[in-house]
């Protein structure tokens, strides 16, 4: 029986149980320095890269029932008629990852929701949440969404509630291109999950823009069928070189912002990218 060891910063596991060791590493990684985590992932074999990506994939747990009930009651009380509720974000693109993936919920109504209705919804929801037992609390209402959070069994999770039919411009962008690109693309799903995993504790690119980076790179070389590991490596290289595909993501983010917010948006994107570049292995 092989007894050689795999290790990272003092974490040891037998290669006999190689995959068990990768799962252990995934859970222990929250305590590792970001630079060491990135270097470790960079040096994984193609097979171990895929296995680790699978081990950090967050299960689709559905919409919490207590939260769903609170949303329905709040909508009814504010004069809204909910037509449908769709989980959005990384759940739909299948790039959701343990430790960091939030619940993004797009709410479609029969009517266009007014500012006053959304404010009424918020007030009713704030009154309703403490009466439920799921632990959700109100954080704030921004231009695009109502943000909630919950800490359960030591795990913190956030939820973004977005009304898709409004009488005012919220600046919400429907990520249909992302959804279509990732739906049957396990290599791209793997690359994005591992990229997010590497920068777990860095306030860098959000999940949406990380997906756009993977898309931009793939679309720049349509003749090449990139594996997940190859795409991941190219994403890191774009970050290191401030490459054209990364610049394209920044330009798109700025263009999608209100004109008066574009300079601030550009500076924010540059700051986030800078934080990621600062922790890249030398």
Give the architecture (CATH level 2) of 65-163. 2-Layer Sandwich (3.30)
Average model confidence (pLDDT) across the chain: 83
Identify the pLDDT of residue 1.
Answer: 30
User: What are the helix (H) ranges across the chain?
Assistant: 18-28, 34-42, 46-55, 65-77, 90-93, 115-128, 176-183, 186-198, 207-220, 228-241, 244-255, 262-277
Identify the pLDDT of residue 2.
Answer: 34
Mean pLDDT of 91-99: 79
Contact 103, 63 (CB under 8 A): yes
Contact 190, 96 (CB under 8 A): no
Contact 227, 187 (CB under 8 A): yes
The CA-atom distances, in angstroms, between 253 and each of 38, 83, 102, 246 are: 25, 29, 20, 11
The pLDDT-based confidence of 228 (bands split at 50, 70, 90) is very high
| Residue 106 token pair | 């797009």
The CA-atom distances, in angstroms, between 192 and each of 150, 171, 174, 257 are: 25, 24, 19, 24
Q: How many CB atoms lie within 10 A of CB 139?
A: 13
pLDDT in tens, 112-161: 999 999 999 999 999 988 877 678 889 999 888 899 988 776 667 788 89
Over pLDDT 70: what percentage of the chain?
Answer: 84
Q: What is the Cα–Cα distance from 173 to 256, expressed in whole angstroms?
A: 8
The pLDDT-based confidence of 277 (bands split at 50, 70, 90) is very high
Q: What is the Cα–Cα distance from 275 to 203, expressed in whole angstroms?
A: 7
Q: Which one, of 230, 161, 247, lies nearest residue 194 by Cα?
A: 230
Contact 113, 163 (CB under 8 A): yes
Q: How many CB atoms lie within 10 A of CB 33?
A: 11
Q: Which one, of 31, 34, 87, 24, lies nearest residue 56 by Cα?
A: 24
Q: What is the CA radius of gyration of the chain?
A: 20
Q: Which residues contact 169 (CB under 8 A, 6 or more apart)?
A: none
Identify the pLDDT of residue 206.
Answer: 87
| Residue 258 token pair | 């209100």
* Dihedral pair phi/psi, residue 100, rounded to 5°: -145, -15
pLDDT in tens, 161-192: 989 888 877 766 666 678 788 888 999 999 99
- Tokens 């270097």 -> residue: 39
Contact 260, 193 (CB under 8 A): no
* Per-state percent for the chain, helix, strand, coil, to nearest 5: 55, 15, 30
Phi/psi-derived region of residue 7, left when phi > 0, alpha when psi is between -120 and 50, beta in every other case = beta
The pLDDT of residue 11 is above 70: no
What are the residue boundaries of the structural domains of the chain, listed by start? 16-55+176-277, 65-163
The pLDDT of residue 234 is above 60: yes
């Amino acid at each position: 029986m092989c007894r050689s060891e795999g290790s990272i910063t003092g974490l040891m596991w037998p290669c006999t149980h190689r995959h068990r060791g990768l799962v252990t590493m995934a859970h222990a990684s929250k305590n590792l320095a970001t630079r060491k985590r990135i270097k470790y992932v960079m040096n994984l074999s193609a097979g171990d890269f895929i296995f680790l990506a699978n081990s950090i994939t967050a299960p689709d747990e559905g919409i919490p029932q207590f939260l769903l009930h609170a949303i329905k009651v709040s909508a009814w009380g504010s004069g809204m008629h909910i037509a449908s509720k769709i989980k959005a974000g990384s759940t739909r693109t299948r790039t959701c990852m343990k430790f960091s993936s939030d619940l993004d919920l797009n709410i479609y109504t029969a009517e266009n929701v007014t500012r006053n209705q959304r404010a009424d919804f918020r007030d009713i929801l704030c009154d309703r949440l403490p009466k439920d037992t799921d632990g959700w609390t109100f954080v704030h209402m921004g231009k695009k969404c109502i943000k909630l959070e919950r800490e359960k069994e030591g795990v913190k999770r956030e939820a973004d509630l977005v009304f898709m039919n409004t009488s005012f411009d919220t600046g919400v962008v429907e990520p249909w291109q992302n959804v279509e690109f990732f739906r049957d693309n396990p290599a791209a799903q793997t690359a994005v999950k591992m990229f997010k995993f590497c920068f777990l504790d860095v306030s860098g690119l959000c999940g949406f823009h990380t997906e756009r980076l993977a898309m931009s790179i793939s679309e720049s070389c349509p003749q090449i069928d990139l594996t997940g590991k190859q795409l991941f490596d190219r994403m890191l290289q774009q970050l290191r070189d401030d490459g054209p595909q990364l610049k394209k993501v920044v330009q798109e983010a700025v263009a999608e912002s209100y004109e008066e917010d574009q300079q601030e948006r550009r500076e924010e994107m540059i700051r986030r990218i800078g934080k990621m570049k600062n922790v890249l292995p030398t």
